[in-house]
A and B are shown apart, each in its own frame.
Chain A
Amino acid sequence: MAVTFGRVLDNKTSTRIEREVASAIKRQGSDWKGNTFYTLLLVMLVLTLFILAVLIYGVVADGWDILTGWLPSFLGGTLGSIKAFEGQTLGVQQGLAGSFWIAVFVALLSFPIGIASAIYLEEYAPKNRFSNFIELNIRNLAGVPSVVYGLLGLFLFVEGIPSITGGRTAASAGLTLAILVLPIVIITSQEALRAVPATLKEGSYGVGATRWETVRRQALPYAAPGILTGTLLSMSRAIGEAAPLILVGAITGFLGSNPSIVDPRQLDDAFTAMPILITGWTQNPMPEFRVAAAAAIVVLLVFVLLLNAATIYLRYHFEKKREA
């Protein structure tokens, strides 16, 4: 005897119900759609990692002689001919200097301007047709090919205000790349600010906080990890860009002076940068320069990875603070 839904059942009926339930909840065949999808995802992931591994292996193997033989003098060396390679005075120092100053310009210009624009658009601007139009255009700007920014930089900074930038200089390049990543900084910061819970802001307004206090003490700290990720990733992008630099006149051949990396006097001088230097060496017919290009790629990769690692660490730090 068994009781189901308050009814008393005889043994036969209850056995039948049990059997029916058992067969109904038993798995029918395999979930081939789900399994296929899962396998597909896994294959894609492995493929991506494989390509990355091949790339890294390729450049490390190619640059092995320099990376294991004379890396310190390579880091301190300058652009030069095959003789410089043989004498181990060839190196990336000028490229590092150019990329360093580009990074400084991006950090000093596009971060404050970009984050401020994002705060304005998210927290202050009235939501109307005009602000929608502006936001749409910022999104479009983020999709503009980088060569176009190179043309803009050539027109604005190289030919427009040579009295300030000095023409084809690191300053012009820094300004150009700062403008290039500005839309990305704005968009990612806006998205981070949009993710701040409305209840948090209401709580702040509710005790009589002004808009500025609410932005400063609630919205910005909460959005900090997201803003940080966006800005530092855009920095990686700026450091890796080559096309716009060619247009604003980065040099692939010989550079006269060779000041230290952080010496600001080179700002109004002819310049090069890591991606440009790599491009130049790759195009050189002599096989020795392939080794140099590969080693330079590894150096650039390491710097970008260090930057990303710093991003991840800072993000983790801010997120922990947010939960604490």
Chain B
Amino acid sequence: MNPEARNSNNLVFCAQDLNVYYGEFHALRDVCLDILPNEITAFIGPSGCGKTTLLRCFNRMNDLIPIARVTGSIEYMGVNLYDPGVDAVEVRRRIGMVFQKPNPFPKSIYDNVAYGPRITGMAKRKPALDEIVEISLRKAALFDEVKDRLKNSAMGLSGGQQQRLCIARAIAVNPDVLLMDEPCSALDPIATTRIEELMNELKDDYTIVIVTHNMQQAARISNKTAFFSVDVNLETDTRTGTLIEFGDTEEIFSTPKDSRTENYVTGRFG
């Protein structure tokens, strides 16, 4: 990739020489990666390759782990997220996250979606809040299923519905980016299809980065794919995640440049 393109303002994220450590453990080495707006970027790779770690760097979720340390930079719209003056809470309001296991709050469906707008002070009065909740649930393709029981507990929803509720909760604060950490791994195939369809609709409004263990899923839905792998150093017995190859999804799956990528996407190495 030429440097000029990298410096263009068109990028949502631009990671440069990103390294992540958990205490002594070097989890991720020298990642350089660009995320373009209104695209779905998929991170694939075997377990322990650092793809979730990288995802959690994009909204400074790793800050919550006391021993995590990040070097290098991630520019979000031209601002380094790891600059001392940047407020992680503000970052997370703009860069939403959906987690591997659906994690609705033990509150009503309405209160789950209204949680973010309430704490961020987006909507103080009830009509405005009602509107945000409805729009968010509609965007998450859940409104018609739950419109008659918004006051019911979110814990009574099915797994797939819970995950769509979590998506609605994330988009209720009107973020620019949605980070999704294996959002379908706890769901059945039908619920998975629904979430995938949803992501396709959402990418018109949001930039989506998704970690997935399912290569077919990456191939089906993403525009760009990044393949990560684990470098095992036998001398020191350490394992470090690295970015092997990043490019258009079609290329990664049909004509990968690196043999390791090819082995992985063809299922010869897991």
Contact = CB atoms under 8 A, between A and B. Distances in A.
Given A126-B66, A213-B119, A207 B173 contact: yes
Interface residues of B, number: 30
B172 interface: yes
Nearest to A206: B97
Interface stretch (A2-10, A197-205, A256-264): A197-205
Interface string B165-185: 010011011000000000000
A324 B61 contact: no
Question: Interface size for chain A: under 10, 10 to 19, 20 to 34, or 35 or more residues?
Answer: 20 to 34
Nearest to A203: B103
A20 interface: no
A203 B92 contact: no
Interface in A250-293: none
A127 interface: yes
B106 A202 contact: no
B172 A207 contact: yes
Contact of A127 (B66, B94, B103): B66
B153 interface: yes
A161 interface: no
B64 interface: yes
A202 B103 contact: yes
Contacts of A13: none
A237 B177 CA distance: 53
Contacts of A202: 61, 64, 97, 99, 103
22 contacts: A127-B66, A199-B103, A201-B64, A203-B103, A203-B104, A203-B166, A203-B169, A205-B92, A206-B59, A207-B93, A207-B116, A207-B119, A208-B90, A208-B92, A208-B93, A208-B94, A209-B116, A210-B89, A217-B115, A221-B106, A222-B106, A324-B153
Interface of B: 59, 61, 64, 66, 89-90, 92-94, 96-99, 101, 103-106, 108, 115-116, 119-120, 153, 155, 166, 169-170, 172-173
Interface of A: 126-127, 197, 199-210, 213, 217-218, 221-222, 322-324
